[in-house]
Amino acid sequence: MAEPDRARIRGGDRAAFGELYDRYARAVYNHALRLTGNWAEAEEAMSETFLAAWRTRETVEPEGGSLKPWLLGIATHKAYNANRGLRRRLAFLARSPEPRPVEDFAEESAGRIDDARRLAVVHRALGRLGRRDREVLALCVSAGLDYRQAAEALGVPVGTVRSRLSRARARLARLSAEEQGRTGMEPPRAHGEMESEAALAALFLREETR
Amino acid sequence: MSEAEELLSTPAEWDLPPERHRHFKDVLMQQIDHDTAVTPRRSRLLRPAVLVPLASAALTGALLVTLSVDGGGPATGPAPSATAAGASVTLNRIATAAMASDTVRVRDDQFVYVRTLVRENTGAFTGPIRLGALHTEERWTSQDPGPLRVTGWIRASGKDAIMPGQMGPIESTDPVPVGVDHPTYRWLASLPTDPDALLARLREEARPVEGESRDQAVFSLIGDLIGGTVMPPANAAAFYQAAAKLPGVREIPDAVDAAGRHGIAITLDDTGFATRYEWIFDKETLALLGARFYITDPDRGITTETLAGTSAVMETAVVGAKGEVPARAAAR
């Protein structure tokens, strides 16, 4: 799955959008999942992201690298809107991700419950931060964008990404310390069971951004 | 490796089942097919202007021209000679004529009906222009202030028409409030009638696309707003007076609309942007006859300015419902 050419995307080439979907649907879905913490909302946000990409194709810069920052930028807004809508409708869902409905295969359902638990870990950690901190962490740390790409996705200067990320990390560090102080947990180790927010926070702190 | 670390070091940890991916990809492809087949607003660059003699519905009867079957549309050719000096004078004469036209009132529950003759590009977006055959297009524009997902309906008929004979919605994914994308009579009537104030407002509303100057975007926007709409004469006049103030407006002494009618054209100087519109007016009555749309895009292999669309307004009316046509058109 090659990166579709920007000119083809700008020109509304149907096949190019098919390639764009094949290449990035999974990354967009994961980004939306981390930010919404909800399977159904993430699906919807992903679908809406590609529809919005189609509608706003003319805004793509003719020159540039990967289209991933553009898509994740759209997905960030869609996830934010989904979260707002979700909170209006069912406040508890945002805090407690539900597993996807179990389908045909029994062996899959075990995997999905595990998925749900793991998603809950990530979403709870991100959920304790403010929107801007959460978004910059999800883009830079989880989705693997560099500062410049994250700046492109969020439509802010690179310096802003840098300062938001450092602030977000500081907040995570504080949360992590509070968590450990409260529970008396040992500091996170390189192996063993680590699924608390503190462990995740520690990971964010260690992660080097490119 | 810890679970949390695993969650983050794997770029895409979760995924949808393949059938869900197929479903959402299908949703995208259907939207693309829908937009490229039905929605004429798919792209400002590629959309031929469809223009209507605003507030001059009374004049259109006199301007009706019987067409031969193959239409005799204009041929592709180099840009005609143009004069800048006359453009402002002519636009102000056009404004005066618009001001003198009859007032047509439109209620929120009615539709503005427009019947045009058009030739459109049937080539691929990224390739050379292939101008299709002349065909009829009818539009019903909702006057409901909304916000609306469906702001109007369109029906094309004839060779090279898209979905001939079928009514198709002019649809947006998000509901559209009254404004530049949903210009109702009442909204147009609410705009300033002072040309400077109107121009300032249009400069705010215009959204230049990549490579387009704000003046070019304003010129296109005026074309969009005077086309397919009905508005009070004072507002129509203000639009032309505002256009007269745009740097680079030029007059072309002779131009032909899609119906083969000759008139005076107003255009905006080509300043390197890929497209150029011409609005064509009757030499005597100064009513808007139609439009032509040219494109130059070396990236697509279009190295000389090429006609990419042309239209002619044949009838404008106010009707009670979508699909309803004025008596004369119904008798045809």
> What is the average pLDDT value for chain A, to the nearest integer?
73
Q: Looking at the structure, do residues A114 and A134 belong to the same domain, yes or no?
A: no
Q: Looking at the structure, do residues A146 and A105 belong to the same domain, yes or no?
A: no
CB contact residues (below 8 A), chain A span 27-86, against chain B? 27, 29-30, 33, 43, 46-47, 50-52, 54-55, 58-59, 61-62
Q: Tell me, what's the pLDDT at B125?
A: 60
Q: Tell me, what's the pLDDT at A110?
A: 56
A&B contacts, CB < 8 Å: 116
At A136, the amino acid letter reads V
What's the average model confidence in pLDDT over B140-157? 91
| Cα A195 to chain centroid, rounded | 18
Residue B65 pLDDT grade (very low, low, confident, very high; cuts 50, 70, 90): very low
What's the average model confidence in pLDDT over B53-66? 31
Q: Looking at the structure, do residues A78 and A166 belong to the same domain, yes or no?
A: no
Please name the residues in contact with B101: beta carbons below 8 A apart, sequence gap of 6 or more.
Answer: B55, B56, B58, B59, B233, B236, B287
What's the average model confidence in pLDDT over A3-18? 92
First to last CA, chain B: 78
What's the average model confidence in pLDDT over A118-143? 78
pTM score of the predicted model? 0.50
Q: Looking at the structure, do residues A95 and A145 belong to the same domain, yes or no?
A: no
Select the highest-mean-pLDDT range: A37-51, A86-100, B5-19, B243-257: B243-257
The minimum CA-CA distance between A190 and chain B, rounded to whole Å, is 6
What's the average model confidence in pLDDT over B287-304? 84
Q: Looking at the structure, do residues A119 and A132 belong to the same domain, yes or no?
A: no
Q: Please tell me the distance from the alpha carbon of residue B64 to that of residue A79, in angstroms, as a whole number.
A: 53
Q: Tell me, what's the pLDDT at A178?
A: 62
Select the highest-mean-pLDDT range: A141-145, A174-178, B50-54: A141-145
Q: What percent of chain B has pLDDT over 70?
A: 76
Report chain A residues whose CB lies below 8 A from the CB of B176. none
Report chain B residues whose CB lies below 8 A from the CB of A207. 8
Q: Tell me, what's the pLDDT at A104?
A: 39
Q: What percent of chain B has pLDDT over 90?
A: 38
B37 touches chain A (CB under 8 A): no
The minimum CA-CA distance between B149 and chain A, rounded to whole Å, is 14
Report chain A residues whose CB lies below 8 A from the CB of B28. 17-18, 21, 47, 50-51, 54
**Per-residue pLDDT tens for B196-242?**
999 999 999 988 776 778 888 899 889 889 877 899 999 999 999 99
What's the average model confidence in pLDDT over B54-76? 32
The minimum CA-CA distance between A114 and chain B, rounded to whole Å, is 11
State yes or no: pLDDT of A91 exceeds 90: no
Among A11, A55, A142, beta carbon nearest to B126: A11
Q: Looking at the structure, do residues A109 and A191 belong to the same domain, yes or no?
A: no
Q: Please tell me the distance from the alpha carbon of residue B137 to that of residue B154, in angstroms, as a whole number.
A: 7
Question: In the listed set A95, A124, A153, which residue is the last one of a domain according to the structure?
Answer: A124
Q: Looking at the structure, do residues A103 and A169 belong to the same domain, yes or no?
A: no
Among A8, A59, A122, beta carbon nearest to B126: A8
More confident residue, B29 or B3: B29
Q: Looking at the structure, do residues A111 and A205 belong to the same domain, yes or no?
A: no
Residue B83 pLDDT grade (very low, low, confident, very high; cuts 50, 70, 90): low
B65 touches chain A (CB under 8 A): no
State yes or no: pLDDT of A3 exceeds 60: yes
Per-residue CA distances from A111 to A97, A99, B231, B298 (Å): 15, 10, 62, 53
Residue B195 pLDDT grade (very low, low, confident, very high; cuts 50, 70, 90): very high
Report chain A residues whose CB lies below 8 A from the CB of B7. 118, 121-122, 200
Report the range of poorest mean pLDDT among A184-193, A195-204, B98-107.
A184-193
Question: In the listed set A71, A95, A124, which residue is the last one of a domain according to the structure?
Answer: A124
Q: Tell me, what's the pLDDT at A195?
A: 45
Q: Tell me, what's the pLDDT at B182?
A: 92
Note down the domain range covering A65.
1-124
B25/A199 CB distance under 8 A? no
A191/B13 CB distance under 8 A? no
Token look-up 């256009």 returns B243
Domain holding A81: CATH number?
A: 1.10.1740.10
Report chain B residues whose CB lies below 8 A from the CB of A55. 173
Q: Looking at the structure, do residues A135 and A210 belong to the same domain, yes or no?
A: yes
Residue B80 pLDDT grade (very low, low, confident, very high; cuts 50, 70, 90): very low
Q: Looking at the structure, do residues A97 and A170 belong to the same domain, yes or no?
A: no
More confident residue, A197 or B172: B172
Residue B282 pLDDT grade (very low, low, confident, very high; cuts 50, 70, 90): very high
A143/B11 CB distance under 8 A? yes
Select the highest-mean-pLDDT range: A194-208, B37-51, B131-145: B131-145
More confident residue, B164 or B139: B139
Reported ipTM: the value is 0.73
Question: In the listed set A124, A140, A166, which residue is the last one of a domain according to the structure?
Answer: A124
Report chain A residues whose CB lies below 8 A from the CB of B299. 7
Q: Looking at the structure, do residues A10 and A68 belong to the same domain, yes or no?
A: yes
Q: Tell me, what's the pLDDT at A66?
A: 92
Helix crossing, B214-226 with B233-244: angle to 10°? 160
Q: Tell me, what's the pLDDT at A180?
A: 52
What's the average model confidence in pLDDT over A1-14? 88
Number of domains in chain A: 2
Q: Looking at the structure, do residues A9 and A27 belong to the same domain, yes or no?
A: yes
Q: Tell me, what's the pLDDT at A200?
A: 53
CB contact residues (below 8 A), chain A span 113-152, against chain B? 115, 118-119, 121-122, 141-144
Domain holding A159: CATH number?
A: 1.10.10
A99 touches chain B (CB under 8 A): no
